[in-house]
Every structure is written in structure tokens, then in C-alpha cells.
Amino acid sequence: MDTYATIKNRILCLCEEKRLTINKLATKSGVSPSTIKNILYGKSQNPGVVTLKMLCDGLGITLIEFFDTEEFKTLEQEIK
């Protein structure tokens, strides 16, 4: 799995775990619903660190907690 897919899956899993819709996450994080949808549906495949931090704030987790998964730990190098 590539980095983009891993980020997308992590956001979706956290929303499910915390029972948040995209609109609720948008309200809690201050990130527009369209920006979140663009990340989830592939229009934005390179979300910035500030956007991810805001999403983490809305999810009630740190950036470290966001990236501290087996999927991120085993990502292959993007540049070969």
C-alpha cells in the first residue's frame, strides 16, 4: 500500500472508531468537508502536515498517534 492510501485508510478507520461523519470531523477540526472529501476520494493525494494536524486535533489524537500504526511502520520507500 502506498502512503496516500495508508493516510486515507487511517482517517476512515479513525472516523469509524470515533463514530464521526465527514461533516462532524470537519466541524471538530476546522477543515472543510470538501478538503476532507478530496483527501478521501483521491483528488488531493498529498495532504499537508498542517491539514493532518488539524484533522488529528478534531479526532482528539496527536500526529504521533496518527502515524503510530503497523501500516505506516512497514511502508515501502516511495522513491526507488
Domain boundaries, the chain: 3-72
pLDDT digits (tens, 9 = 90+) for 27-78: 999 999 999 999 999 898 889 999 999 999 999 999 999 999 999 999 888 7
When pLDDT is averaged across residues 13-25 and rounded to a whole number, the result is: 97
CB contact at 8 A, 54 and 47:
no
CA distance 68 to 65: 5
pTM above 0.75, yes or no: yes
CB contact at 8 A, 3 and 47:
no
What pLDDT sits at residue 76? 83
Classify domain 3-72 by CATH number: 1.10.260.40
What pLDDT sits at residue 77? 83
In degrees and rounded to multiples of 5, residue 70 shows phi and psi of: -60, -35
